[in-house]
Chain A
Amino acid sequence: MMKGFLQESLFLSGVLLAAGFSLAPFLWFILCALKTPAEVTAIPLQLLPSFSLESFRLAIERYGILHYLGNSIIVAGITTFVSISLGTFAGYALARLPRRPAKIILMAVLACAMFPHIAIAGPIWDFLRFMGWLNAYQGLILPYVALTLPLTIWILTLFFREMPEELEAAALVDGCTRIGSLQHVILPLSAPGLFTAAILSFIYAWNEFFLALLIMTDPAKQTMPVGIALFQGEYTIPWGEIAAASFITTAPLVLLVLLFQRRIVTGLSAGAIKG
């Protein structure tokens, strides 16, 4: 009885510790958004904010955070769409091609996800400059598509492979073309796989910083991570505004995680690769 109680309380404190470790630092930081500058820098720490929305107002009006947000939505949205479209075609082909060539291609694709970004940054930058695509949405979207494709292709190939071939065979016998069967038989059944790949691509493109910093030098085209990293105050660090911007950037992702955690977990552990 005693031992059971001890184990229970040990387990419970472990759970609390894990939740605290994951949440406390972030919540504490985000609370700054609701505090006045004096409350942010108070010692001893002031736990409860005065729930002032001044930081949000300043972040939006003075720092134009909504503008960065708009850029992020455009870039991450289009990246996800293109990556999923191309990934669906490639994944379907790889799932139906003979195993041997498919395997070689999949391995090469996986290797693409491993390279350090610095090793491709210089030439990409040079290419984009040549095309006049620096500070253009497509200049950031195309590299993002390349970086998210490996994950998308892997998730979708594995997903399509698990679909019974008889389903498709029946459609083919009935006179359906390959593209017809992809459209009418395979795609409607693959919503979960497509969705998982889409969430992960979106999160990747939403959070990416290194290439965004290099390619988008014009503040009018910069995405949220660049805006947050380059946040400058006049005399002091504007923590309230940074926290407000951080909240606006992170909230959609937290929402995605809370709503679709099961799918994200499956996608991550099935792929075990990240862009």
Chain B
Amino acid sequence: MTRKDNIFFLILLAPALFILLLFIAVPIGQSLFLSFHRLILSLPQLGSPFLGLENYKDLLHDPVARHSLWITLIFVCAATFFELLIGVLLALLMHHHFPGRGMLRACVLIPWAVPTVVSAQMWRFLLNDAYGMVNYVIFGAHTTEYIPWLALPSTALLSLIVADVWKTSSFAALLILAGLQVIPEELYLASRVDGAGVWQRFWRITWPLIRPALMVALLFRTIDAFRVFDLAFVMTQGGPADATNVLQFYGYKKMFVEGWMGYGSAISVCIFVMVLILAVFYVRMVGHRLLEASG
């Protein structure tokens, strides 16, 4: 490895790092900067005076923002929990050797490939209050009992969670499946010879060995769930009565619909900080493991 080589490598790296800097690192810094200022797009004559922490103070006393944070946390916890649960079940099924295994894996992958916007429209249709399949399955032809899932504050968030779980469980399943596949078959054979039952085999062998993969899936899904936007935009527009006004949607509305750039930036910085804490965990855990695994 000569000096000339190193310079050559840096030249190769430069364009990619430049793009990442220009479109990710710098914008993050700018958002932080904007969050300390008042900038209203529709009132450019006001300029952008420095406010210090005022946007954040307002945010603390903004009932909509607090509600939004609460909603987002419920969404993140519930969606991630069910995704992992279903993910483990799907992974265990796909891990079995049986004739239709490839077919099953392809089926399970399809929701992952469906664009979120399409799956959102799909669930809007399935949950329709007059002719939706979900109502039909539950109530049959008794149309008077049909529930307007997306129009009731109590069920709208649940609907978003169901839509998210449908689409992303397969991703969790794939990560967990990758974890399962490193478990040597002999372990199961040996334990079977020793008379271990199905449950024992699961808790004593499978569980400890898939735990790292499960943690990866958990962190990854949590980070992703914090960014939920498409589902809220298409299915409910944040409603009814802010019942699905998740943080990213609220930030979007403040910034791009109402034009409150400074205040919206404060919201986005809050999401960013929450995700950052998770991301640090994630990078420390997964990053090292991946790098070591690659030699």
Contact = CB atoms under 8 A, between A and B. Distances in A.
Given A116-B272, A272-B286, A250 B115 contact: yes
A161 B295 contact: yes
Contacts, number: 286
A89 interface: yes
B110 A118 contact: no
A119 B272 contact: yes
Contacts of A125: 256
Given A25-B126, A143-B23, A210-B230, A249 B282 contact: no
B115 A122 contact: no
A37 to B, nearest CB: 11
A234 B116 CA distance: 24
B109 interface: yes
Contact of A96 (B5, B23, B104, B107): B5
Interface in B237-295: 247-248, 251-252, 255-256, 261, 264-265, 267-269, 271-272, 275-276, 278-279, 282-283, 286-287, 290-291, 294-295
Interface stretch (B51-59, B168-176, B201-209): B168-176
Given A11-B96, A29-B125, A117-B227, A178 B5 contact: yes
A86 B271 contact: no
A28 interface: yes
A124 B268 CA distance: 13
Contacts of A243: 125
A168 to B, nearest CB: 12
Nearest to B9: A93
Interface residues of B, number: 104
A233 to B, nearest CB: 13
A86 B278 CA distance: 28
Nearest to A206: B115
Interface residues of A, number: 98
Contacts of A224: 115
B199 interface: no
B90 A246 contact: no
Interface in B62-89: 86, 89
Given A45-B136, A162-B294, A107 B115 contact: no
Contacts of B234: 229
A123 B31 contact: yes
Given A45-B133, A268-B175, A107 B283 contact: yes
A265 B105 contact: yes
A114 B222 CA distance: 11
Nearest to A90: B16
A129 B121 CA distance: 30
Interface string B105-132: 1111111111111111111011000110
A23 B107 contact: yes
A142 B23 contact: yes
Interface in A171-227: 178-179, 203, 206-207, 209-210, 213-214, 224-226
A45 B294 CA distance: 53
B92 to A, nearest CB: 8
A228 B111 contact: no
Interface string B22-48: 111111101100100000000000000
Given A119-B268, A121-B256, A272-B175, 14 more contacts: A14-B89, A19-B104, A28-B126, A94-B13, A107-B287, A110-B287, A116-B248, A147-B23, A162-B295, A207-B116, A209-B116, A229-B230, A231-B121, A257-B110
6 contacts: A45-B133, A116-B271, A226-B117, A250-B114, A257-B110, A258-B106
Interface of B: 1, 5-6, 8-10, 12-13, 15-17, 19-20, 22-28, 30-31, 34, 86, 89-90, 93, 96, 98, 100, 102-123, 125-126, 130-131, 133, 136, 140-141, 143, 166, 170-171, 174-175, 177-178, 216, 220, 223-224, 226-227, 229-230, 233-234, 247-248, 251-252, 255-256, 261, 264-265, 267-269, 271-272, 275-276, 278-279, 282-283, 286-287, 290-291, 294-295
Interface of A: 11, 14-15, 18-19, 21-23, 25-26, 28-29, 32, 40-45, 86-87, 89-90, 92-94, 96-98, 103, 105-107, 109-112, 114-127, 142-143, 145-147, 149-150, 153-154, 158, 161-162, 178-179, 203, 206-207, 209-210, 213-214, 224-226, 228-229, 231, 239, 242-243, 246, 249-250, 253-254, 256-258, 261, 264-265, 268-270, 272-274
